[in-house]
């Protein structure tokens, strides 16, 4: 029968493994979330920019067939993501909804002009590009005016640059902290087995023979941590997509699978390296320094 001391030792060993796995899981989960943001940062940025654009007001009396020709030429332009044609009647309906009253009945006619809403590709959604696009389109005799919010476009680009720098800096800091946390958790677990390591060494076991079971056990813990963190990560992504349906439009399954692979790779590598370093430290330590 197992003695009370044996049961207590096994209980402490299981508790130690559980603590390491939980620590690894939480750290990998945070890194996974950060990785998800980083991998999708460019798509998120493009998604925001591609909702920016300008409106082209068409002169009164221009035939609809000519407007459609203009729309097709804009669709073929290298800077255009998508165009939307809004005729006079549609423009009146939208304005009536905003005002809450029938202004056409009051005026006796529809004063609004047809227009084309142009959404730009992300690389052209900046003030400089819009200036030369406006100059080019202004030469068209069918166009009355071109409207866009220059201050909004400049602010969006400026804020995206700021957010990117903040995310990059935070990513580096979190990566360092994460490695330190996982390393400390593993070192504490190895510390509890320092006497076993030294005993094996004294009876003639080679360094490789001593390290192997610790490294294998640590890699298994890393895989368990990666599995738990992946489940949590997928749950958060799914919940986010339910709360913000727009994420479905920018979500890439290949990116998500790549992220899961990186989480597993990081979990295995950091546990392997940390365990190797921790065991090597106790292999080199003199017996009188273990206490």
User: pLDDT of the chain along its 291 residues, tens only?
Assistant: 445 544 544 555 455 567 777 777 877 887 787 777 777 777 777 777 777 788 888 888 888 888 889 889 988 988 888 888 888 777 777 777 767 776 666 666 677 788 888 888 888 888 788 888 888 888 888 888 888 776 666 676 677 677 777 777 776 777 777 677 766 766 766 766 777 777 777 777 777 777 788 788 888 888 888 898 889 888 887 777 777 665 555 556 777 788 888 888 888 888 888 778 777 776 666 655 555
Are 271 and 219 in contact, with CB atoms under 8 Å apart? yes
- CA 171 to each of CA 39, 215, 228, 261, 286: distance values in angstroms, whole numbers, following the listed order: 12, 28, 21, 18, 39
Domain edges within the chain: 4-47+156-289, 53-124
Residue 291: predicted pLDDT: 55
- CA 253 to each of CA 33, 38, 234, 258, 276: distance values in angstroms, whole numbers, following the listed order: 15, 15, 11, 9, 35
Residue 23: predicted pLDDT: 76
Q: Please, which residues bridge with residue 158 across strands?
A: none
Q: How far apart are CA 89 and CA 112, in angstroms?
A: 8
- The CATH classification number of 53-124 equals 3.30.70.3040
Instruction: With residue 143 as reference, give the H or E element that holds it.
Output: strand 143-147
Residue 138: predicted pLDDT: 83
Q: Please, which residues bridge with residue 84 across strands?
A: 117
């Amino acid at each position: 029968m197992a003695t009370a001391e044996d049961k207590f030792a096994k209980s402490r060993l299981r508790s130690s493994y559980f603590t390491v796995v939980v620590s690894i899981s939480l750290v990998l989960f945070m890194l996974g979330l950060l990785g998800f943001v980083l991998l999708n940062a460019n798509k998120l940025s493009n998604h925001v920019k591609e909702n920016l654009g300008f409106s082209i007001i068409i002169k009164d009396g221009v035939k609809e067939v000519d407007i459609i020709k203009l729309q097709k030429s804009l669709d073929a332009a290298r800077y255009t993501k998508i165009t939307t044609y809004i005729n006079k009647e549609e423009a009146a309906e939208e304005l009536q909804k905003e005002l809450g009253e029938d202004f056409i009945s009051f005026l006796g006619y529809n004063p609004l002009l047809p227009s084309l809403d142009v959404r730009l590709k992300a690389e052209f959604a900046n003030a400089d590009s819009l200036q030369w696009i406006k100059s080019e389109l202004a030469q068209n005799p069918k166009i009355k005016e071109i409207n866009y919010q220059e201050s909004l476009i400049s602010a969006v680009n400026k804020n995206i640059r700021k957010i990117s720098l903040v995310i990059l800096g935070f990513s580096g800091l979190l990566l360092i902290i994460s490695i330190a946390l996982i390393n400390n958790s593993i070192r504490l677990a190895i510390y509890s087995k320092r006497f076993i390591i030294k005993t094996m060494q004294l009876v003639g076991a080679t360094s490789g023979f001593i390290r192997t079971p610790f490294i294998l056990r640590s890699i298994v813990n890393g895989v368990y941590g990666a599995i738990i963190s992946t489940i949590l990560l997928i749950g958060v992504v799914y919940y986010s997509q339910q709360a913000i349906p727009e994420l479905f439009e920018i979500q890439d399954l290949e990116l998500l699978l790549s992220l899961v692979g990186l989480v597993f790779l990081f979990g295995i590598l950091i546990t392997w390296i940390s365990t190797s370093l921790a065991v090597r430290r106790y292999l080199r330590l003199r017996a009188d320094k273990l206490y």
